[in-house]
Amino acid sequence: MIQKRMLLGILLVAVLLGMAPAWGIAAPDLSESAQEGTELLKNPGFEGLSCAPDSEPGWCEDNWSNTANFDGSFHDNIFTPQGWTTWWRKGGDYGQPEVKTIPNVAPFTGELPRIRSGNYATLLFTFYRLQDTGFYQVVTGLEPNSTVQLSAYAHGWSCDNDDKLGYSCADPWNQTFQVGIEPNGGTDPFSPSVIWSGEQRSPDHYNLIGPVTAQVGAGGSVCVFLRSKTKWQYKYQDAYWDDASLVMTSPGTPPTDTPLPPPPTPTYGPSPTPRATPTPRPDGAIVHVVESGDTLFGIALMYGVETEQLRQLNAGSLGPNDMINVGQAIVISIPSASPTPSPLPAPPTTEPTAAPGAPGGPVEGASICVLAYHDRNGDTFRDEATEELLPNAEFTIADASGVVDRYTSNGVNEPHCFTGLTPGAYRVIQTAPAGYVPSGPAEYNVGLPKDTQLDFQFGDARSENPDEVAEPTQESEELTEPENRTTASRIFSTVAKVSGILVLLLAGGVAVLFFLNRRRM
């Protein structure tokens, strides 16, 4: 019996020892660096990091701070969520915001819920002041050269009166939201090194703000920003934030263990070779081919141009939030126009271009597609359900040598595509139909890469004075009329002047005779 028990004990020990390696594989290695998709922010949903001991289950009392402000000041009306720092613009008509970490209870629930998920969100608000404010958080321990992506959910209440409290009113573009990343961990929200997402409206209901991406600097730290801005000093200016997120989308290049060689002492080695300046293309355009890690902001710095210039020259080829792809051709500049102003030459008429589907072989090259629509609300974004196509809009495609092609819309068959275009720099020009004026840009300077299609939608709004185009002709006729007067008319004018003088002399004589007659009486 004792031998049987010993055998059972030995077997049990063997089984346990055999399971030990399996346990070791299943346990996660928490010492590894952040993986792709891992949340990198502290307190991203504003639920709190540490709570008061008497907090009820599911709730986190005292999950805020009065001193987490960018200037180190104390404010009894600022309750910054833990892990974050409040910042705001000072001076002029800008005001210090009030900040609350709000719970998911009345009055923040109901018809317009102010919490998107969980039990908490955060609120920044001002009264009768301009607003440029938000939060920031520094994230450390990242891989240099890795790419991170930031987004958050936000909405606002912006109104200048007490009608329908809680709902936005007046200028729909008064309040906008952005998210931004400073790649080296700098905490100044006004620094030009901050990479911002585009300005977005989000009245009354939560919407995703961003995302925006950036490459982590050599120090392995970034600073993320949440921002709300207003144009007018409305009575109510509320900005609500929830569910922020920072994740790594691609890893960086890990450092090697090979020590660097000692610097040469007798002579200096050659200086690092800078990135070569691209050779102008045959059409004269300067083009940069996107490499891994490039951003539109970084390319602008590299060539010493404004980011807005790159947006205009590459309109239609950029993705949301200035997204670019490896291998994409970014136009840096195009040749200036000829110093002697002259109208664009007419398109060639030697041989008509075959229509799509007509015999003559497949169409090769790039294309530009255009349409014109009735921009009823003037926001420069087309709502296909309510904003119809417009006829009689004239489109012109031109390059450095002149007009390439023209098209007049019929309001039915658009978008119309100019196909078979040679890659290069082009001007896309729209002349609005009679009675309309452009609600946005009427001309774009673009770089057209090989085998790509760029799409442009031109918005046109009703002109307030549709007859004003006829005025220059009338004014010209009046200015040229004296030159066309006949000899007879000039003689008539001279006679009229002489007659006037004779009438004055006759009136004077009558007055003298009247005076002499009275003296005799």
Confidence of residue 162 (pLDDT cuts 50, 70, 90): confident
Strands 453-462, 366-374: pairing is: parallel
Over residues 253-278, mean pLDDT: 56
For residue 494, what pLDDT is reported?
A: 53
Closest CA to 208 of 122, 148, 150: 150
**pLDDT for the residue numbered 349:** 46
Helix (H, G, I), strand (E, B) or coil at 135: strand
Residue 103 has pLDDT above 50, yes or no: yes
Residue that finishes a domain, picked among 466, 484, 512: 466
What is the C-alpha separation between 105 and 94, in angstroms, rounded? Answer: 30
pLDDT at position 193 is 95
Is the model's pLDDT at 465 over the cut of 70? no
Whether 480 is in a domain gets the answer no
Query: Are both 246 and 314 inside the same structural domain?
Result: no
**Residues 83, 195 within the same domain:** yes
Same domain for 136 and 72? yes
Q: Tell whether the model's pLDDT for residue 497 goes beyond 50.
A: yes
- In this structure, the number of other CB atoms found within 10 A of the CB of residue 231 comes to 13
Mean pLDDT score, 427-437: 93
pLDDT cut 90: percent of the chain above it: 38
Q: What is the pLDDT of residue 95?
A: 85
Residue 268, Cβ density class (10 Å: 0-12 exposed, 13-18 middle, ≥19 buried): exposed
Amino acid at 405: D
Q: What is residue 415's predicted lDDT score, i.e. its pLDDT? A: 95
Question: What pLDDT does 217 receive?
Answer: 95
* Max Cα-Cα span within the chain: 177
Q: Which of 442, 466, 490 is the last residue of a domain?
A: 466
Mean pLDDT value of segment 131-137: 95
In a shared domain, residues 293 and 230: no
| Same-domain check for residues 226 and 98 | yes
Model confidence, pTM: 0.46
pLDDT at position 170, please? 79
508 falls within a domain: no
Burial classification of residue 288, based on how many CB atoms lie within 10 Å of its CB (0-12 exposed, 13-18 middle, 19 or more buried): buried
User: What pLDDT is stored for residue 341 in this prediction?
Assistant: 42
Does 192 lie in the same domain as 107? yes
Band the pLDDT of 295: cuts 50, 70, 90. Answer: confident
Asked which of 23-37, 272-286, 383-397, 430-444 is least confident by mean pLDDT, the reply is 23-37
pLDDT single digits (tens) 206-240: 999 999 999 999 999 999 999 999 999 898 999 99
How many domains is the chain partitioned into structurally?
2
Q: What is the DSSP string of 90-116?
A: -STTB-PPEEEEEESSTTSSSSS-S--
pLDDT at residue 520 greater than cutoff 80? no
List the CATH number of the domain containing 224. Answer: 2.60.120.260
Judged against a pLDDT cut of 70, whether residue 254 lies above it is answered with no
- Mean pLDDT (whole number) for 163-173: 83
pLDDT at 337: 45
Q: What is the pLDDT of residue 280?
A: 66
Of 30-44, 95-109, 139-153, 400-414, give the lowest mean pLDDT range: 30-44
Q: Is residue 478 part of a domain?
A: no
Tell me what pLDDT residue 54 has: 87
353 falls within a domain? no
Structural domain including 411 reads 277-337+364-466
Of the given ranges (9-23, 35-49, 379-393), which has the lowest mean pLDDT? 9-23
In a domain, 358, yes or no: no
CB distance 249 to 149 below 8 Å: yes
86 and 211 belong to one structural domain: yes
Return the CATH number at 381.
2.60.40.10
Specify the pLDDT at position 479: 36
Picking from 172, 166, 105, 92, the residue whose alpha carbon sits closest to that of residue 132 is: 92
Whole-number average pLDDT of the chain = 78
Q: What is the pLDDT of residue 3?
A: 54
Q: Are 302 and 445 within one domain?
A: yes
Do residue 289 and residue 206 come from a single domain? no
User: Which of 214-228, 252-266, 276-290, 431-445 has the least mean pLDDT?
Assistant: 252-266
Residue 403: per-residue pLDDT: 92
The domain boundary residue, chosen from 466, 488, 505? 466
Least confident interval from 152-156, 224-228, 311-315, 473-477: 473-477
CA neighbor of 423 nearest in space, from 393, 454, 402 = 454
Confidence tier at 424 by pLDDT (50, 70, 90) = confident
Query: Is the residue at 393 inside a domain?
Result: yes
What is the Cα–Cα distance from 485 to 490, expressed in whole angstroms?
Answer: 7
Task: Please give the share of the chain, as a percent, with pLDDT higher than 70.
Answer: 70
Binned at pLDDT 50, 70 and 90, residue 510 comes out as low
Question: 26: buried, middle or exposed (CB in 10 Å: 19+, 13-18, 0-12)?
Answer: exposed
pLDDT tier at 484, thresholds 50, 70, 90: very low
Give the lowest-confidence range in 30-34, 284-288, 290-294, 498-502.
Answer: 30-34
Residue range 420-431: mean pLDDT, rounded: 90
pLDDT value at residue 139:
96
Asked if residue 288 and residue 185 are part of one domain, the reply reads: no
Q: Does residue 238 lie in a domain region?
A: yes
pLDDT above 60 (res 496):
no
**The pLDDT of residue 28 is above 80:** no
| Residue 461 to residues 113, 173, 192, 432, Cα–Cα distance (Å) | 36, 18, 35, 9
Residue 267 placed within a domain? no
Bigger pLDDT: 339 vs 100? 100
pLDDT higher than threshold 50 for residue 21:
no
Q: Mark whether 284 and 201 lie in a shared domain.
A: no
Q: What is the mean pLDDT of residues 71-90?
A: 91
**pLDDT computed for residue 511 by the predictor:** 59
Residues 206 and 322 in one domain: no
In the numeric block, the tokens 């989000």 are attached to: 202
